Amino acid sequence: MVTSLVVLAGGLGKRLLPITKETPKPLLEVMGKKLYQYTLDYAAEAKLDEAIIVSRKGWITEREHNGIQLRIVSQENYGMDEAYRAFYNEYQNGIEDTLIIAFTGFIARPPNIIEQSLRQYTLLNESNMILVTPVATGTDTHASVEFDFGSRVKLVQEKGKGGSGYALAGVLIVNREGARVLYEDGIIPGLNHLASRGSLGAALWTGEWMDISYPWDILEAVAMLLDGVTETKIASTAKIAKTAIIDGPVVIDNNARLDEFAVVRGPTYIGRNVLVGMGAFVRPYSAIESSSIVGSRSELKRSVIMSNAEISSGAVIADSVVGPYSRIGEFSVAKSTYVDKLPSRFTIRIFFKKRKPKMGSIIGAKVKLGPHTVIPPGSIIE
Amino acid sequence: MIYIHRVVSRRIFCDKAKRFFIGLYYYNIAGGDDSEAALCHYLSRGLQEARATGYDEIGPKLGAPLEVWKGMCGIAGITVLTKKSLKGETLGSELTVLLKSLEYRGYDSVGIAVISDGRLVVRKGAGKIDEVSRKLGFRKVDGLTGIGHTRWATHGPPNDINAHPHTDCNGKIAVAHNGIIKNYYELKKEAIMKGHTIKSDTDTEIISHLLEENYTKTNNFLEALSTLLDQIEGSYALVILNVDEPDKIYFAKNLSPLVIGIGNGDYNLVASDIPALLRYTNRVVTLRDGEYGYITPSKIHILKKRKPVNLAGRIKTIDWTIESISRAGYPHFMIKEIHEQPLALRETYFGISSDPLVDEAVRILSESRLIYITGAGTSFHAGLVGRYMFSKFASRPAIPFISSEYTQVINEISEKDVLIAISQSGETIDTLRAVRWFKASGGKIIAISNVIESAIPRESDLTLYTRAGPEIGVAATKTYLTQVLVLTYLSLGLAKYEGMLTKTEYHQKKNSLRDAWRFTEESIRQTEPLIKSLAKSLSTAQSIYILGRGLGSLLALEAALKIKEIDYIHAEAYPAGESKHGPIALVEPGFPVLFIDAIDGREELIGNIKEMTARGADAYITTCKSEELGVHGAQPITIPCTNTQILEPYVHIPVYQLLSYYIAVQRGLDPDKPRNLAKTVTVE
């Protein structure tokens, strides 16, 4: 089958502010990989070897990822429709029989989401298809889909009613005619246009899926990815001190360093060039992204430290996200507690745990906090 | 007096307003009068009754767009340059293999047509592919160009004349068709007036006669085909042979699927779906609506609106395997079939409520001394719900037993007893044995099955069919609910017959049963997202209890079976009140306990929830009274309110089917092929 793939990666991630103040959403690193690279990896799983990637000028510099040759198109303004138009203007004559449109900023497990979509597309006998997935929370943040159980889409809504339902799972496959309709009408109205003509099929994705829309989602996304980590993997270039303790499934990336008496409990991710200082304690479901420092005798509980951040000695960070290039001063505390109003992604956890989860704080990008700062739970620091 | 002696498998198109009508099967009338006029007369009466009870609202409406099973029939064709290109010995055996791979689309009537030495050879008959092919010697039919057809009859047993392919008056043109020709009735009348002899009652045969006529006029078959497509309306995938052009297979497609397989220059194929072609080629062209044309061994010619279609970029190379057949839109058959339940329930209600055999069954049941119900696995669980309904509405006790355990009741049977035997496939050996033994004891058998003319129906006095369509996933999903629907319908009929329900009550209950599909649909929509998340937290459980009271305890059995067979997690169903007489000893903090609140004993259920949560159990409850029941410590999974026990199975069971499915996905298991299990158990 002759197929083109376009990856839309020009979004700023406004809802993710203040985390995306310095780094736009597609370039945010989660578990050592930029968000746009997740989408490319899913494409690689489908054995695609070429992708057109639409982004702002200068954002994406690599020309090849995981065996996929990248052709880069620049978009002038932000927005999904804008990105798609930029692509269409340049490549409309080159659109082959089938066009796969993939978004960035979602993660899926297992990673065969695009492969699965292509397979369904060949089976479905429809000219255009979207992938949908049941989600328990968060149809308020991305498009929700109504379809009949005969696999035909009835309605796509940009913002759902909130709560649970079926969400557009980040992958669309259209033929040349469908590609034109999306260009003329915009993506969501275009899909509705196709649906009203009766030529939009739905395929169901039953694996795990989530869209990273709000800062708190990063914690949930990392938890989801870490659930897939079943064994400890330590890169050969990582340096682990003799007295360091690694307990449970932990991934330690290239050139990471665990100092003496550091304790890391899995499932946890330690990124490239990360330093975990002497006697530091990293508790389960934490991720430390590349080139960050977790100082000696500090403690991380279910937190994500984004790239190039520094947690100084003796600091305690609980249930929080620390943005890229931030610095948390010595002996600072980001406390967590039960809060009254929970972000929507967390409400589902109450359902299963029967008690509210603890919430910490969101510390944005390039935030500098002095020593002994106490950050109250639920704060968002810009 | 009209005496209906058997149901035949034909669609009828004789409404006065000349609109078509499909779905309601009609009856062959004893005494040989099965002329169309007689049948139409009968049908119009049937329709009036149907309207009086209001069910044409839910069934396919007169003239409404068709909602048919995707994949009701399979068609195929192959043309080769020389015999060397054949994989099998003869073209006949080749076509048999092709049809075998389309068998999942239907397998109760089959036929082939081959051009052999300038003659058209047609062999067709009712039955499974293997049987018919053996009986009619498909293997001996040889030639270079041929077509075939396989069919799934949802309405009555198929017969030899109605099997495809159909031919024209001179035996020169053969047609196999998947779909429905809407304006068939007018065309047929016209054709008869022009002197054509129409042998079958299908909507397909008319195509061959129209082609014959168009072809005589122009002497150009492609032109004849173009004209035909202007004449017919409806859905179709057609493959056509013309004796005058022995190397061509003509085709046309609208709404029904059709795919061309591209050979290496000395053969080409066409079939209903890609998997059928994969044995020969992985290069395919999926045809689009309105396209038609022909293939020869070396050429593919496609037209749309009389203009040639450019194939550039449309040839796909397929790199997946046959196992993914017909899961269109779904990653597994199981989830597809769960989602198909609303449609299956609608079809089943529609079918059963117009089946005259129900009255006959009710009479047999009413005159019987004792009613026994049997089945294996899921069918047995459906039988238990049936027993509940018989007792509740008709106040008639029924004795359920697992079919392989028939020896337990062997000594109590008399000639006046009746056995309701339930089997999806109609071939389950344990149930078949129970049926044989029961019959030998002199009792009467009423079978409930999904497969027409299978072994158990053949050996029964009377069969009521569920119309769930083919079920491929090993775990029974849509067949359970459709079996429950048929049993409930039967219990209502019996209750009315025996005067236990007034006419108003009866109609009220029947109408709520008619709407069962809506509840299933709503229940799936409402719970699927939550269940997907719940499955994640239950996927690591070692053991699960499923508790309920009354009807709930019966539904729990099916729920537990699904979790056991699909997820390999020990799941045990218990009546909630009984749980404190033993099973509760196993409950420790974090032990998952699922409750089913099926209206019965709601008050007492609260006590049972408290017993469990007091011991630290992780309790969940499927209920529509989530605010009332949620406060007692169990997390409510809210389902639609039915307010009547009749409808409770249709809202609870989909939730547990989804749960078992999503747990399997979480655990990385294949829900369609659970280990150690087979779809149809034909060994004891």
- The whole-number average pLDDT for the span B99-114 is 79
Q: Contact B529/A166, CB-based, under 8 Å?
A: yes
Asked whether this chain's domains B73-167+237-319 and B330-514 adopt the same fold, the reply is: no
Contacts 24+ apart (CB under 8 A), B322-326: B322/B101, B322/B275, B322/B278, B322/B279, B324/A119, B324/A123, B324/B275, B325/B101, B325/B104, B325/B273, B325/B275, B326/A123, B326/B70, B326/B71, B326/B104, B326/B105, B326/B273, B326/B275, B326/B472
Residue with tokens 């004449």: B231
- The whole-number average pLDDT for the span A18-45 is 91
**Contacts with B107 (C-beta within 8 Å, 6 or more apart), sequence order:** B128, B129, B150, B151, B152
Judged by average pLDDT, the poorest of B31-40, B52-61, B338-347, B532-541 is B52-61
**Could you give the CA distance from residue B502 to residue B505 in angstroms, rounded to a whole number?**
5
The pLDDT, as a whole number, for residue B193 is 86
The C-alpha of A356 sits at a distance from chain B's nearest C-alpha, in angstroms, of 14
Residue A94 has pLDDT above 90, yes or no: no
Q: A29 and A290 in contact (C-beta within 8 Å)? A: yes
Active-site amino acid positions of B: 73, 679
H-type helices in B91-250, by residue range?
91-101, 129-136, 184-193, 205-218, 221-231
The pLDDT, as a whole number, for residue B228 is 92
Residue A250 has pLDDT above 90, yes or no: yes
Which carries the bigger pLDDT value, residue B118 or residue A290? A290
Per CATH, domain B73-167+237-319 is 3.60.20.10: yes
Residue A292 has pLDDT above 60, yes or no: yes
Listed by number, the residues of chain A in 131-150 with a beta carbon closer than 8 Å to a beta carbon of chain B are 134-136, 149-150
Percent share of chain A, pLDDT over 90 = 46
Domains of chain A (ranges; CATH) run 3-213 (3.90.550.10), 227-381 (2.160.10.10)
Task: Report DSSP letters for A115-171, one per residue.
Answer: HHHHHHHHHH--SEEEEEEEESS-TTTS-EEEEETTTEEEEEESS-SSSSEEEEEEE
The pLDDT, as a whole number, for residue B314 is 78
Judged by average pLDDT, the poorest of A167-176, A194-203, B100-109 is B100-109
Q: A326 and A289 in contact (C-beta within 8 Å)? A: no
The pLDDT, as a whole number, for residue B48 is 42
The pLDDT, as a whole number, for residue A36 is 93
Residue B475 has pLDDT above 90, yes or no: no
Most confident of A155-169, B58-72, B98-112, B642-656: B642-656
Q: Contact A206/B320, CB-based, under 8 Å?
A: no
Burial of B23: CB neighbours in 10 Å, binned 0-12, 13-18, 19+? buried
Residue B337 in tokens: 């079939």
Which carries the bigger pLDDT value, residue B567 or residue B351? B567
Residue A320 in tokens: 């929080």
Most confident of A123-132, B138-147, B652-661: B652-661
Rg of chain A's alpha carbons, rounded to an integer? 21
The pLDDT, as a whole number, for residue B35 is 44
Considering only CA atoms, which of B533, B626, B655 is closest in space to residue A348? B533
Q: Contact B521/A120, CB-based, under 8 Å?
A: no
Q: Which chain B positions have a beta carbon within 8 Å of A127's beta carbon? A: 288
The pLDDT, as a whole number, for residue A151 is 76
Q: How confident is the model at residue B327 (pLDDT cuts 50, 70, 90)?
A: low
**Contacts with B464 (C-beta within 8 Å, 6 or more apart), sequence order:** B352, B355, B357, B358, B361, B446, B447, B448, B486, B490
List, edge to edge, every strand of the sheet that includes B300-304: B166-167, B173-181, B234-242, B249-254, B291-295, B300-304, B307-308
**Could you give the CA distance from residue B122 to residue B203 in angstroms, rounded to a whole number?**
18
The pLDDT, as a whole number, for residue A15 is 83
SS3 B577: helix
**Could you give the CA distance from residue A8 to residue A137 in angstroms, rounded to a whole number?**
24
pLDDT, tens digit (0-9, with 9 covering 90-100), for A153-195: 888 887 655 567 888 899 999 988 889 999 999 888 999 999 8
The pLDDT, as a whole number, for residue B55 is 30
**Could you give the CA distance from residue B337 to residue B661 in angstroms, rounded to a whole number?**
11
Residue A327 in tokens: 């610095």
Q: What residue type is assigned to position A10 of the chain? A: G
Percent share of chain A, pLDDT over 70 = 93
Residue B164 has pLDDT above 60, yes or no: yes
Which carries the bigger pLDDT value, residue B329 or residue A214? A214
Considering only CA atoms, which of A194, A186, A101 is closest in space to residue A145? A194
SS3 B56: helix
Partner B contacted by A1 (CB < 8 A): yes
**Could you give the CA distance from residue A302 to residue A29 in angstroms, rounded to a whole number?**
17
Q: B138 and B167 in contact (C-beta within 8 Å)? A: no
Which carries the bigger pLDDT value, residue B434 or residue B458? B434
Residue B157 has pLDDT above 70, yes or no: no
The DSSP output letter for A27 is: G
pLDDT, tens digit (0-9, with 9 covering 90-100), for B277-298: 877 888 888 888 889 999 999 8
The pLDDT, as a whole number, for residue A216 is 86
List, edge to edge, every strand of the sheet that includes B371-375: B398-402, B371-375, B418-423, B444-449, B462-465
Judged by average pLDDT, the poorest of A212-221, B22-31, B377-386, B637-646 is B22-31
**Contacts with B324 (C-beta within 8 Å, 6 or more apart), sequence order:** A119, A123, B275
Residue B467 has pLDDT above 90, yes or no: no
Q: Contact B534/A352, CB-based, under 8 Å?
A: yes
Q: Contact A120/B331, CB-based, under 8 Å?
A: yes
CATH number of B528-668: 3.40.50.10490
The pLDDT, as a whole number, for residue B575 is 94
Angle between helices B478-497 and B357-367 (to 10 degrees): 60
The pLDDT, as a whole number, for residue B276 is 79
Q: How confident is the model at residue A222 (pLDDT cuts 50, 70, 90)?
A: very high
- Kindly list the distances between the CA atom of residue A358 and the CA atoms of A30, A281, A282, A306, B150, in Å, as whole numbers in the listed order: 22, 19, 17, 20, 60
The pLDDT, as a whole number, for residue A162 is 58
**Contacts with A89 (C-beta within 8 Å, 6 or more apart), sequence order:** none
Q: Which chain A positions have a beta carbon within 8 Å of B328's beta carbon? A: 120, 123-125, 151, 201
The pLDDT, as a whole number, for residue B1 is 23
Which carries the bigger pLDDT value, residue B598 or residue B681? B598
Q: How confident is the model at residue B331 (pLDDT cuts 50, 70, 90)?
A: confident
Q: Contact A125/B328, CB-based, under 8 Å?
A: yes
**Closest to A125 (Cβ–Cβ): which among B257, B618, B665?**
B257
**Closest to A206 (Cβ–Cβ): which among B533, B534, B662?**
B662
**Could you give the CA distance from residue B627 to residue B643 in angstroms, rounded to a whole number?**
16
Other CB atoms closer than 10 Å to residue B82's CB: what's the count? 10
Q: How confident is the model at residue B50 (pLDDT cuts 50, 70, 90)?
A: very low
Q: Which chain B positions have a beta carbon within 8 Å of A165's beta carbon? A: 529
Percent share of chain B, pLDDT over 90 = 42
Considering only CA atoms, which of B108, B109, B95 is closest in space to residue B140? B95
The pLDDT, as a whole number, for residue B107 is 63
Q: What residue type is assigned to position B465 of the chain? A: Y
The pLDDT, as a whole number, for residue A91 is 82
**Could you give the CA distance from residue B238 to residue B205 in angstroms, rounded to a whole number?**
12
For chain B, the average pLDDT equals 82
Partner A contacted by B322 (CB < 8 A): no
The C-alpha of B533 sits at a distance from chain A's nearest C-alpha, in angstroms, of 7
Q: B275 and B101 in contact (C-beta within 8 Å)? A: yes
The residue of chain A nearest to residue B521, with distances taken between CA atoms, is: A149
The pLDDT, as a whole number, for residue A161 is 57
For chain A, the average pLDDT equals 87
Residue B547 in tokens: 């508790």
Q: Contact B533/A351, CB-based, under 8 Å?
A: yes
**Closest to B530 (Cβ–Cβ): which among A47, A150, A164?**
A164
Phi and psi at residue B203, to the nearest 5°: -85, -5
**Contacts with B56 (C-beta within 8 Å, 6 or more apart), sequence order:** B47, B50, B62
Q: How confident is the model at residue B660 (pLDDT cuts 50, 70, 90)?
A: very high
The pLDDT, as a whole number, for residue B497 is 93
- Suggest the residue from A123, A174, A208, A355 to mutate for an interface test with chain B (most B CBs closer than 10 A): A123
**Could you give the CA distance from residue A320 to residue A333 in angstroms, rounded to a whole number?**
11
Q: Contact B313/A96, CB-based, under 8 Å?
A: yes
Residue A268 has pLDDT above 80, yes or no: yes
Q: How confident is the model at residue B678 (pLDDT cuts 50, 70, 90)?
A: low
Residue B650 has pLDDT above 60, yes or no: yes
The pLDDT, as a whole number, for residue B519 is 94
CATH number of B330-514: 3.40.50.10490
Q: What is the largest CA-CA distance in chain A?
A: 66
- Suggest the residue from B532, B635, B657 to mutate for an interface test with chain A (most A CBs closer than 10 A): B532
The pLDDT, as a whole number, for residue A298 is 95
Residue B56 has pLDDT above 50, yes or no: no
Q: Contact B328/A208, CB-based, under 8 Å?
A: no
**Contacts with B646 (C-beta within 8 Å, 6 or more apart), sequence order:** B389, B488, B509, B512, B513
Q: Which chain A positions have a beta carbon within 8 Å of B473's beta carbon? A: none
**Closest to B328 (Cβ–Cβ): which among A127, A151, A351?**
A151
Interchain CB contacts (distance < 8 Å): A and B: 97
The C-alpha of B274 sits at a distance from chain A's nearest C-alpha, in angstroms, of 8
Residue B640 has pLDDT above 50, yes or no: yes
Residue with tokens 């355990």: B405
Q: How confident is the model at residue B47 (pLDDT cuts 50, 70, 90)?
A: very low
Q: Contact B329/A206, CB-based, under 8 Å?
A: no
